[in-house]
Each structure stands twice: as C-alpha cells, then as structure tokens.
Amino acid sequence: MKKNNVATGVLVAGVAVLSAAMAEQAYGQALHGITIAKGCVSPLCVGETTSCDIQLGYNDDFGDTIEILAAWDVQDVGGDNVRVPDTGDLPIVAVGGNTTCTVGGSLPCMIGPGGSTLSGLPGDPQPGFVRFRQNTYVVQPDDPDVLKDQATVEWEDLCDDPNTSGCGEGVVNPAPAPASTVITRCDDDDACTTDVCELGECTFTPIGCDDEDPCTTDECVLGICVFTTVDCDDDDACTEDACDPETGECINTPIFTCDDNDLCTEDTCDPVTGECVFTPIVTCDDDDACTDDACNPMTGECEYTPNYVCDDGDECTEDTCDPATGECVFTPIDPPPPGCGEEGAGCTPGFWKQPHHLMYWMNYSPDDLYNDVFGVDGTGDKTLLGALWSRGGHEMALMRHAVAALLNAASDEVNYLYTEAEVIAMVQEAYATGEFNDIKDMLEMENERGCTVDKSGKKPKTSRAGLFGPR
C-alpha cells in the first residue's frame, strides 16, 4: 500500500528534525519515510532577504523507494502563511546518492536506499538525497528572534520492496524544533542615536544637534537637543569678556593697557584690583670687572660697556682685559698672524657663522647662494651662511669647510694657504669626482690653524656683511 505524506523540518546544529501535517501513528515513522532539514543564512536584519537550503534524505528501514512529489517553503507575513513559490516547486540545487532527481530538474523524482534499482533507481551505493533552495525569504518585523522553520515537502512511500511491512500503518513526524537562523535586532537603548541594522550588523549613529551658533555647546540629552551658552568669564578684572559669534572662541580683551615704555620691566595688570604692576625682569651682570652692566630700556637687552681700553699697538699680541681684575693682558697670538711668524692661519666654520663675526666677512655676503659662488649643483640650494650651519658629514661637511676656506682666503687678516680661486677650483673638483671627504680634509686642516682676525669690534671697510648686515 502506497502512502502519501506531508512533512516540515528544520536544521539545528546539523541535526535533522521532522514534523507532521497530519496526526498518525508513530510506528510507521520508525520504519518508513525521509529526513527533512532546513538551514538559512544567519544572522539577518528585518527587511533583508535570506537564502535557505531544504534537504531531503532517504530514511526507510525496509528499502522502499520514496517518491518526492512537491517541495515548497512558507513565509509568515503579518501572521499569514504565504507559500513560496506561490505555485510549483522550489528549484533543485544539489542531489546525491541513489536518486533519479537532477540539479535543475523537476518533480516528481525518487530517492532510495543504497544499491536499489527498484522503480527505476540507478543503484548508487549511497542512499539518495535532494536539496532545494529558497532565495526570497524576506525577514518580517514580527518574525521571532529565532526564525520559524516551515519547509514543506509532499512525498510518497512506493512500498515496492518485497520485504516491506507496515505500509498500512500511519506515518507521524515529531514536532518541529526552533530554527538556527537568528534575526538581528538593533537597539542600544540610547534615545540620542539612530539604530540601523544592515547585513546582520548594527550601527548606532548619534543624533546631530547643531543650532549653527558657535557660542553654544550642543548636545543630545534623552533624545532632546540642548544648547548651552559658552561661558567666557575669565575672572579677570583687567579684561572684558565676550564670545566671538563667528568662531565661538572666547575673547578676553584688556580694558586698558599697562606700559611704562621700558622693555626691562614686565608690565601687567593685577587681575584682582585692575591696577598696573611694573616688575623688573632683566638682570644684567656678566661678572666682568672690565664692563659696565645695564639694561637698555629701548631694547630690553643687557649692554656691557667696556670701561678699559687695552691696546699695546702690537699686531702680534691679543689685547684683552682680565674680567676678574680689570687689568689689561697682552698675549702673543698663536699661531702668529702674517708678519709675526711663518706658519699659515685659518678660522673655523664655527668662527665665521657666529652672528657677531659676520662683520668680518670680506667680498661675500651671508645670503649669497653656495651653488652660485662655487659654480656647483649642491644639495639644498643653501646660502653661504646656511652651508656653514649644515649638519652631517660627506657633502654637508665639505660645505661647511668650503665656505670657511673661501672667507679665510678673502680675509686680509688671515694668512691662508689657498687663494679664493684655488678654493673654488678644489670644491668644483670634489663635486666632479664625488671625493667630498678628501677635499674636506685638506680644507679642514688649514681652517684649524688658528684664527688671526682682529676681533676688536672694528668693522672692516670692505666687508659686505658689515655694510649690509646678514640677510
């Protein structure tokens, strides 16, 4: 006796669970039937479409052939069960084992036990199965958090095995279990955010509160925008306080200006009384008995005026005043300058780059370009003064000593080994060959023989730096 059946089922952790559409005896289910399992993509958001697979597997203890007659799904829309598809069957997307069903084929088709050729089965060694797909299930707002499983299949036990028994008995399936497809619902319990669910992910976007007034702080409180005026009071009796309507920044403008026209004092207004206070801020003492110390109110800088003039008229001595005693000291210059000895002289890059030594530059100005003066393509497009301040080795070291050598050669007070033209030619050779260090070493040796420039403070008549100053 053939038996028609309708079953629904779900897939929970990979276990197939069955349910019945008609109340019949449990005895028949233990002997004849199929397994039906349904699984959907998870998690999902309300309004999104999910894909569900519904798989039927052979499950008959007596080896009968099972004919699959129809397969569809049911969607709960507002409490109404809607058949999907509304007519016909779900598409077959996979088959396996002993079956006449084919991918993309139509129903009815049959599944059977492994090796059976009854009712036209091919005799595959594995039991048959067939899988359907439902790609149009739209998650509804009233769906439970765990999506209900309502896959439905009509099937018939052909009772074609000679050893079959129990076909006359009824067939009943167990009650369905919850599906594993979880519905994502987004609510962060914050009235100041807009909650959105997309592709199973929640986003919580803060509600924007902006009154377009820079002088208020804007915030959302319990879903309501609150705008608080910026407090610009600085508790200072010397200022008038206001908020700039263009920028929202506080403006604390002094009510009056305290100025005694003396840069040696700090001029302030007492924030408690609003009165001006003038406090000396410059202390001038160089611990030098050879100078008179004072702060210049026009510049705010200390001025140390020599109170002794030391000059023995000898170009071969350095004339100084002893800061401890105030007495003149005349020290032979070592190495001696031209006319005072045979050994050459040279001032270091450190001497030539000092601001108070720029007055001794001859023929060149601190802002002359290094590349133009030497006729090379050096790195950084530096000025002569910039080259003296270069840090590092290789080309940077050559730059420092090349400029120092050029200034030594140009100075009337330095008995330098090389002429200006020779220094320039050596630098050009270094750039042509890439041998920066060799040329640098030669110039460095001469630059460190001893500086013989008269540092008495007198400006040379032909010094470009002295005439125009550093630029």
> What residues does each domain of the chain span?
3-184, 282-332, 338-468
pLDDT band at 375 (very low <50, low <70, confident <90, very high): very high
pTM of the complete model: 0.43
Which residues make Cβ contacts (< 8 Å) with residue 54, sequence separation at least 6? 9, 36, 37, 38, 71, 73, 90, 131, 132, 133, 134, 151, 153
**Is beta strand 183-184 parallel, antiparallel or unpaired with respect to 44-45?**
parallel
Percent of the chain at pLDDT > 90 equals 28
At 4, the pLDDT band (50, 70, 90 cuts) reads low
CA distances from 376 to 359, 372, 421, 434, 466 (A): 26, 7, 14, 12, 27
Is residue 20 predicted with pLDDT exceeding 70? no
pLDDT of residue 156: 85
Residue-level pLDDT at 367: 92
Q: Is the pLDDT of residue 177 over 70?
A: no
Helices 395-410, 436-447: inter-axial angle, 10-degree rounding = 40
DSSP helix/strand/coil, 406 = helix
Q: What are phi and psi of 401, to 5 degrees?
A: -80, -25
Whether the Cβ atoms of residue 106 and residue 121 lie closer than 8 Å to each other: no
Tell me the mean pLDDT in the region 310-329: 74
- Residues 145, 183 contacting (CB under 8 angstroms): yes
Token pair of 251 as six digits: 């403006």
Q: What is the pLDDT of residue 119?
A: 93
Q: How many CB atoms lie within 10 A of CB 236?
A: 16
Q: Which of 58, 51, 21 is nearest to 36 (CA)?
A: 58
Contacts of 168 by beta carbon, 8 Å cutoff, 6+ apart: 1
State how far the Cα of 226 lies from the Cα of 249, in Å rounded to an integer: 19
Asked if 21 and 154 count as a contact pair (C-beta separation under 8 A), the reply is no
